[in-house]
């Protein structure tokens, strides 16, 4: 018996350490749950692989790996389990249904690069006073080979109103495989343009803001992903020549701010988070950063601890998938950014609409050379990364029924806050605006009502909520326009003493020109924080002129 014991133990050890067999029809990528016992383990792998999901409460990450990466994680002490369902999703892309005539194969809700560009160009043609479709640079294939794509920004604003306007810049499809992102911003643009003139809130946004939408930031990579490939990077053929399917640079690790500083990207060209050989080496990043610098003044100093002035305008949003997250800088260090507190407040406001988790980016894992870090770090813009949904190739039902209903109003709020993103989110929202004549007589006063609410944050977020202290309205221009008269509104119950108050005012319209006018309403809390504006239309009628009867 004793002589068989060593052989038995060796066999048992081999059985316990054998790797799980790959699933049928395995093509080289396994999706695994990698369990860890120390959060530092997650941070240490961020230099060569990016987790797809981080479940800190359960102690595991989800990530796609090849055989060599599997062995590397195992050697680092991770306990690995293959997620058969996700592995099957990765290795068996959805095909066109027999009735599908457009869209990405198997995903009729998502437009291809060409269809997205055509839709945006059509919007610019249909709304020439509200939309322009602007070429801002080239993809790598266009710049190097002449066969790739241009990068376009869809700029939305009422060009007839010439005044200094706060700006929201949002971009999507930086990583080709993230299907839902470009469609979200395209639908956002359509909702704004289609609502102009009929929806007062949408109308005033386009009258007094600029909204810049880079719908597809990585069109070459997106075309690879449209064939069902998990393509993340751009398609720069100068990198990873040994493995053509892994070529390219990760555009969200290539920005010059904090590039390659802190273990949040890879220097190996075949890794998914390869940062490129030098800061801003990729033409896509060069185009984006040039556009941002041209549209947003630099409001932050060069020291890492320099805060942007509290009155800085402008919001930057980079839409990704997946994870249901709202993230803000810094990503390369656990230290809070100088404007951390107000960025956190706006991030939590976005999470109110979507139900997403809002947190500093570094709490997931280190990132460096990323877009929101550049926007905030170099220019002082309040910057965010939004992670949509629960999969790269998000199913259409989830996109239509969950992602759109939450993220469209959240993006609209971001646009409203763009005039003062470090101030306005701390204040209450003006909601449920109603205007109605006091009587049916022409020229009679108009009663304006609104609800001022300081409680619209996620439950348990820790954001302070105060009683309402004041509310006011302006007519035909928002209150920051010089010469605008601000008129106080009163609480319907007679006293400001609640976090949610219904307010009203009676507007004398006798001095207004005939036709439609826009009323802007905002509220203030007891700490002096004014919130974002909402708008409502009121209508005046010309005086009734009785015919003169000659006798």
The pLDDT of residue 96 is 81
Question: Phi/psi class of residue 353: alpha, beta or left (left: φ > 0; alpha: ψ in -120 to 50)?
Answer: alpha
pLDDT band at 440 (very low <50, low <70, confident <90, very high): low
Average pLDDT over residues 468-477: 98
* Per-residue model confidence as pLDDT tens digits over 182-239: 999 999 999 999 999 999 999 999 999 999 999 999 999 999 999 999 999 999 999 9
Cis previous bond, 47, omega within 30:
no
Measured CA to CA, the distance from residue 352 to residue 410 in angstroms comes to: 8
Q: What is the overall mean pLDDT for the chain?
A: 93
pLDDT, residue 92, reads: 85
Higher pLDDT, 183 or 91: 183
pLDDT digits (tens, 9 = 90+) for 369-394: 999 999 999 999 999 999 999 999 99
pLDDT at residue 28 above 80?
no
Coil, helix or strand for 342?
A: helix
Backbone angles phi, psi at 340, to 5 degrees: -55, -45
Tell me the per-residue pLDDT of 145-173, one tens digit each, with 9 for 90 and over. Answer: 999 999 999 999 999 999 999 999 999 99
Please tell me the least confidently modeled range out of 84-98, 309-323, 511-525.
Answer: 84-98
Q: Which residues contact 546 (CB under 8 A, 6 or more apart)?
A: none
Q: Do 346 and 201 touch, CB atoms closer than 8 A?
A: no
On whether the CB atoms of residues 65 and 32 are closer than 8 A, the answer is: yes
Grade residue 46 by pLDDT with cuts at 50, 70 and 90: very high
- pLDDT at 453 (0 to 100): 98
pLDDT at 551 > cutoff 60: no
Q: How far is Cα of residue 11 from the mean position of the Cα atoms in its chain?
A: 53
Cα torsion through 328, 330, 336, 342, rounded to 10: -30
> What pTM does this model have?
0.93
* 546 SS3 class: coil
Beta strands 382-388 and 315-321 are parallel
What are the chain's domains?
Answer: 22-91 (3.30.70), 113-424 (3.40.630.10), 427-540 (2.60.40.650)
Q: Residue 511's CB: how many other CB atoms inside 10 A?
A: 7
Is residue 542 pLDDT above 70, yes or no?
A: no
Reported residue count of the chain is 551
How far, in Å, CA of 235 to CA of 176, rounded?
A: 10
Report residue 439 as tokens: 């009587």
Q: State the Cα–Cα distance between residues 186 and 253, nearest whole angstrom.
A: 25
Task: Summarize pLDDT for 1-10 with one digit per residue, the tens.
Answer: 445 544 444 4
**CA–CA–CA angle 164, 315, 409 (5° rounding):** 105
Inter-CA distances, 335 with 146, 236, 362, 391, Å: 43, 34, 9, 30
């Amino acid at each position: 018996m004793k002589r068989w014991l060593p052989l038995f133990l060796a066999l048992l050890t081999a059985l316990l350490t054998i790797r799980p067999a790959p699933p049928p029809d395995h093509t080289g990528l396994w999706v695994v749950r990698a369990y860890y016992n120390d959060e530092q383990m997650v941070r240490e792998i961020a230099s060569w692989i990016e987790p797809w999901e981080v479940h800190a409460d359960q102690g595991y990450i989800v990530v796609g790996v090849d055989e060599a990466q599997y062995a590397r994680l195992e050697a680092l002490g991770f306990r690995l389990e293959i997620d058969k369902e996700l592995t099957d999703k990765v290795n068996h892309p959805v095909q066109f249904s027999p009735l599908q005539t457009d869209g990405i194969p198997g995903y009729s809700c998502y437009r291809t690069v060409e269809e997205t560009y055509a839709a945006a160009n059509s919007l610019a043609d249909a709304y020439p006073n509200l939309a322009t479709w602007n070429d801002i640079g080239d993809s790598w294939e266009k710049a190097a080979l002449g066969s790739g794509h241009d990068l376009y920004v869809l700029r939305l604003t009422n060009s007839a109103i010439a005044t200094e306007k706060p700006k929201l810049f949002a971009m999507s499809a930086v990583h080709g495989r993230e299907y839902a992102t470009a469609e979200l911003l395209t639908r956002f643009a359509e909702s704004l343009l289609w609502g102009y003139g009929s929806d007062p809130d949408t109308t005033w946004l386009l009258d007094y803001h600029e909204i810049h939408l880079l719908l597809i930031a990585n069109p070459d990579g997106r075309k690879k992903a449209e064939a069902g490939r998990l393509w993340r990077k751009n398609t720069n053929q100068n990198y990873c020549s040994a493995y053509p399917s892994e070529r390219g640079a990760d555009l969200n690790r290539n920005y010059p701010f904090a590039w390659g500083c802190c273990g949040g990207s890879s220097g190996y060209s075949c890794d998914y988070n390869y940062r490129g050989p030098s800061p801003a080496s990729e033409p896509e990043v060069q185009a984006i950063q040039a556009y941002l610098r041209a549209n947003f003044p630099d409001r932050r100093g060069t020291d890492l601890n320099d805060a942007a002035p509290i009155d800085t305008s402008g919001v930057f949003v980079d839409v990704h998938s997946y994870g249901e997250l709202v993230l803000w800088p810094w990503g390369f260090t656990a230290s809070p950014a100088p404007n951390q507190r107000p960025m956190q407040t706006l991030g939590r406001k976005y999470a109110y609409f979507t139900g997403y988790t809002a947190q500093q980016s570094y709490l997931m894992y280190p990132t460096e050379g990323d877009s929101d870090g550049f926007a905030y770090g170099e220019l002082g813009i309040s910057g965010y990364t939004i992670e949509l949904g629960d999969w790269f190739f998000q199913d259409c039902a989830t996109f239509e029924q969950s992602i759109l209903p939450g993220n469209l109003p959240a993006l609209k709020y971001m646009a409203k806050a763009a005039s003062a993103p470090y101030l306005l989110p701390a204040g209450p929202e003006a909601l449920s605006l109603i205007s109605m004549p006091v009587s049916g007589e022409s020229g009679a006063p108009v009663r304006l009502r609104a609800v001022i609410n300081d409680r619209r944050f996620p439950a348990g977020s820790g954001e302070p909520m105060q009683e309402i202290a004041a509310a006011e309205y302006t007519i035909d221009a928002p209150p920051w326009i010089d010469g605008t008269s601000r008129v106080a509104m009163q609480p319907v119950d007679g006293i400001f003493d609640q976090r949610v108050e219904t307010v009203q005012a009676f507007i004398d319209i006798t001095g207004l020109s005939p036709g439609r006018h826009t009323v802007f309403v905002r509220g203030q809390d007891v700490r002096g924080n004014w919130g974002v504006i909402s708008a409502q239309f009121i209508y005046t009628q010309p005086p009734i002129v009785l015919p003169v009867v000659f006798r």
